[in-house]
């Protein structure tokens, strides 16, 4: 398993946090996700053989949020 932290812009409430979590949970290989509204970050534990960091980023963007490198 690999872990990465992405800076997520545009989250304003707990509903936003849940939206990001739900979107990431749909990906194969995502084992655990912690999303912090206060920090504006998503920390994702995933299997790199099943999902790439780029796909994690795209999934968050498709949910309506921006990801800053």
> What pLDDT digit, counting tens, does each position of 6-27 carry?
999 999 999 999 999 999 999 9
Nearest-CA neighbor of 43 among 55, 27, 29, 32? 32
pLDDT at residue 69 above 80? no
Alpha carbons 57 and 42: distance in angstroms, whole number: 10
Domain spans, the chain: 2-68
What is the fold, at CATH topology level, of the domain defined by 2-68?
Answer: Alpha-Beta Plaits (3.30.70)
* 69 in Cβ contact with 8 (< 8 Å): no
Q: What's the pTM?
A: 0.93
């Amino acid at each position: 398993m690999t872990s990465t932290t992405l800076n997520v812009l545009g989250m304003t409430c707990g509903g936003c946090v849940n939206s990001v979590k739900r979107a990431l949970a749909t990906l194969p290989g995502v084992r655990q996700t912690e999303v912090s509204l206060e920090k504006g970050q998503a920390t994702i534990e995933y299997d790199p053989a099943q999902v790439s960091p780029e796909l994690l980023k795209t999934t968050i963007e498709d949910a309506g949020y921006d990801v800053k490198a």
